[in-house]
Structure 1
Amino acid sequence: MELRHLRYFVAVVEEQSFTKAAEKLFIAQPPLSRQIQNLEAELGIQLFERGSRPLKTTEAGQFFYQHAIKLLSNAEEIKSMTKRIGIADRTITIGFVGSLLFGLLSPILYLFKQRHPDLKIEMMDMTTHEQILALKNGRIDVGFGRLRISDPSIKRILLREEPLMVAVHSRHPLAQHREGLYLADLLDQQLFLYPNIPQANFSSQVRGIFSEYGLEPRNVRVVRELQLALGFVAAGEGVCIVPQSARNIHLSHLIYLPLLDEAAVSPVFMTMRNLDLSEDIRYLLDCVYQVYEAEGIPHQRTTF
């Protein structure tokens, strides 16, 4: 006996007609009649009163119908629960550089979670270099970083070029330049950069932008992280170059001024394994573009 036999039988009982049941099941009537006859032969009992109009079940047929309904209901429940468990087991692990959480990565992830509530999302704070290694060894599924690192096994998508800004104390002499500053204005300032790790990072990226203009800041101090650098600035110890998204970090007497040099931008990349372009990653990329469009962020859509 198979579940389809139960479905056929239940349809005939509820429609009280082989013809109507066949139409409901989208099958021809003769095969349906044969399936019911086979079911009766297997059970060794008669399920329907022959010749009755409308079609009626025997006492045994009514008993079988009640239990067939329960079995079919249980089967659907098991199917539904199995699907939910399968979905709940789906996990996407995302690596990110910390500064991106202060910007648009947070609303992107929020939108992604709202669209896919059954998908488990794990977040790992790591440098771009660490993300590349983590992608290659399977620790993460997608990464968000700022460095342009090439690897034949990694696909990199440029999401946007984020403008850079200068964080200064509200009473700093540079604070009066509300329209913005140039890199040349910072050469003699105590300049805080971050992070202080040996690999290429945001601080080396900023130094590279100075170099593009043939400039070299004279007083540089590299600290552990963004928040520490901004803490020093808020204490009146100097200035700090940060991505535009960092202006969401509010400290007393801390203001942010635009950097007016054309090259004063920090790229934001999304990276994934070349051979692992899952639907979940496509959905995540779509959420990125939806947030960018809602915020009016210039970008160019990339498909894969």
Structure 2
Amino acid sequence: MELKHLRYFVTVVEEQSITKAADKLCIAQPPLSRQIQKLEEELGITLFERGSRPIKMTEAGQFFYEHSVQILTHTAQATSMAQRINAVDQTVRIGYVSSLLYALLPQIIYLFRQRNPDMHVELIEYGTCDQIEALKAGKIDLGFGRLRLIDPSIKRLLLRKERLLLAIHKNHHLAEFIESGLYLSQILEEAIFSYPKTPKPNFATAVQSIFTELGLVPKKLIEVREIHMALGLVSSGEGICLIPETASDIGMKNLAYIPILDVEAHSAISLSVRNMDQSSYIPKILDCIQDVFKNENIDLHMDNI
């Protein structure tokens, strides 16, 4: 039995006429009649009452009709879902936090696009916290973030622990530490800009947690909208701020950067995916990450967290 036989049968029932059903199916009447007879022979039952006008089903025919409609409906739904899944597989939506655009993320995405020209890549800015919900809702397929967040439905891979730097005005009194570096305990009296001003947790809370872990309490933490505003204020001589090392490439004038000597002063870069996701793009993006890190001579952790 083939699906076309079920479609022929259902159409005859709904049209209540072999002639009308044949016209609708765009086939001749005799072949359609033979297909219905063949179906009855295969089933070993009579589907229609003989000689009735319009066509009427037998009790067995009515039962078979109801289940035939269900089979055809489920088949159509399965086909539609398979097509949607295939379309999703060809479109990879990647969430990212903006500061990673100054890290290796652009190189990773470019390499991924070069190696997979058949896949369409969409980049969508999401904070790390929002990435978790976006992954679970299917709004994104991968998430590159900085925060340590735990969710049983999300798998996270630690890629790198990026060192933090202290951004200062080049004429700031702390400039004497540019070569030697300093400890966070030495900046507690300074006006420190933190960012972004978005729902917590975010990078600002990550920085605050580093101070807390060290038992330190900065006296003047000032929250601003985003990293460019923080660095712009620092460039104006208003205060200082902590940034990921790669963000020093933003390149505003009058800025200088001081290494932070505390080992706790780092920002973890991670890749998040749905826990049971076996999509083909995941090993492909991991291969690109490995190659970019290798080319840049940067250690890659690739640890589950």
TM-score, structure 2 normalization: 0.69
Partner of 1:107: 107
The aligned amino acid for 2:101 is L
Partner of 2:59: none
CA distance in 1, matches of 2:157, 2:88: 28
Helix, strand or coil for the counterpart of 1:134?
A: helix
Partner of 1:7: none
Residues 121 and 260 of structure 1: CA distance in aligned 2, closer, same or farther (over 3 Å): same
Kindly indicate whether residue 94 of structure 2 is the aligned counterpart of residue 94 of structure 1. Answer: yes
Helix, strand or coil for the counterpart of 1:95?
A: strand
CA distance in 2, matches of 1:207, 1:87: 42
Count of residues in correspondence between the two structures = 218
Kindly indicate whether residue 181 of structure 2 is the aligned counterpart of residue 180 of structure 1. Answer: yes
Instruction: Write out aligned runs for 1:85-164 (5 A).
Output: 90-164=90-164
The aligned amino acid for 2:228 is Q
Cα distance, 1:214 vs structure 2: 0.9
Cα distance, 1:198 vs structure 2: 3.0
Instruction: Give 5+ residue unaligned stretches, structure 2.
Output: 1-85
Contact kept, 8 Å, 2:158 with 2:302, in 1: the verdict is: no
- Measured against aligned partners, the alpha-carbon deviations of 1:133-185 in whole angstroms (never above 9, x if no partner) come to 01001000000111111111111111111100001111111112122121011
Partner of 2:75: none
Aligned Cα RMSD in Å? Answer: 1.7
- Measured against aligned partners, the alpha-carbon deviations of 1:197-227 in whole angstroms (never above 9, x if no partner) come to 2311111111111111111111110001011
- Measured against aligned partners, the alpha-carbon deviations of 1:103-156 in whole angstroms (never above 9, x if no partner) come to 111111111111112210000001111100010010000001111111111111
Contact kept, 8 Å, 2:162 with 2:244, in 1: the verdict is: yes
Partner of 2:200: 199
CA distance in 1, matches of 2:237, 2:189: 15
| Further displaced range: 291-300 or 87-96 | 87-96
Contact kept, 8 Å, 1:89 with 1:120, in 2: the verdict is: no
CA distance in 2, matches of 1:148, 1:299: 17
- Measured against aligned partners, the alpha-carbon deviations of 1:77-119 in whole angstroms (never above 9, x if no partner) come to xxxxxxxxx8998110000010011111111111111111221
The aligned amino acid for 1:205 is A
